[in-house]
Amino acid sequence: MRTSCAPDMIRGMARQDRLRRISQAHDRRRSGHGIRLWRKLAIWLLYPRRDRGFWYGFAIDVLWPVLMAVARWDFRGGRQVPTAGGALLAVNHLSHVDPIVLVTYVMAQGRVPRFLAMKELWGMTVVGAPLRGGRHIPVDRRASGVEAYRAAVEAVRRGEVVVLYPEGGFAAHSDGWPREARSGVARIALETGAPVIPVAQWGSNHLLPPSASRPTLVPRATLRVLAGPPVALEDLREGRIGRRALQEATDRIMGRITEQLAVLRGEEPPARPAPRDAAETADPAEPAAG
């Protein structure tokens, strides 16, 4: 068994290394330019086919060419996504299309991402099968979120890349800057010691604005994603994880996401994040109460 597994593992590592080199070479192009078509096709041929589950993999294979056709990609900072081991990707939230964009981004680095999603989606015919097969994490918004929190911790400790949206949703009308966040991602990070990669995205709100029911195909949107180095949280892991440590960790994570977004937008962010409001579009990104 060892004899048969070793060559497969070596081939898999070589494939991932090639995929990451092709994807990350785009960083040398000027910011704002889309990934060249040949590079997107090469990524599509090399991205992971294993460990996805049939229906999750099927959804990826169907949606990837669609996203390739309807929008430009400008994916940068992929070297920050670990090649192996558990990690948390903390991402700003702009549109319903965000998870599709992030799947594309993470798969281009040779990893298969797991998401948190509303428990109600598990019962839907079209959406439920990919969620179940892809080992994503259901969130019961009517409960405390403890089960989802524990499942997220277990996924990270298992070596998964877990994507979270700390804002917990997005506003139907906003300027696109990150708002106040919940502390779930900070709690998981301090519990597991896993790296938190701050990721900013811009352009998904142009492809599918929060208040729109149909995508905007003309002009083509540029889906821009930028990951930064892991957020420094080591000093907060010492001793008891209390409310103050959680708030400090959350502030650091959101500060870093905002910094990355400022680079993408070429603008100065507001001095303070806007508060969450009751009019936000619900989207499950918070596994545990703050």
Two structure tokens written together for 284: 């499950």
Task: Give the model confidence (pLDDT) of 206-220 as tens digits.
Answer: 999 988 889 999 999
pLDDT at 60 over 50: yes
71, 207 in Cβ contact below 8 A? yes
Handedness of CA 188, 237, 102, 112 (dihedral sign): negative
Q: Could you tell me if 162 and 103 are in contact, meaning their C-beta atoms sit under 8 angstroms apart?
A: no
Q: Please name the fold of domain 2-282.
A: Glycerol-3-phosphate (1)-acyltransferase (3.40.1130)
CB atoms near residue 65 (< 10 Å): 12
- Tens digits of residue pLDDT in 233-274: 999 988 778 899 999 999 999 999 999 999 999 999 988 888
Look at residue 284 and tell me whether its pLDDT is greater than 60.
no
Instruction: Give the β-pairing of 71-76 and 221-227.
Output: parallel
Looking at every residue in the chain, the average pLDDT score rounds to 88
Q: What is the mean pLDDT of residues 79-90?
A: 97
Q: Where are the alpha helices (DSSP H) in the chain?
A: 2-24, 37-46, 54-70, 98-107, 125-133, 146-157, 184-192, 204-207, 243-265
Q: Is the peptide bond before 219 cis (omega within 30 degrees of 0)?
A: yes
pTM of the model: 0.91
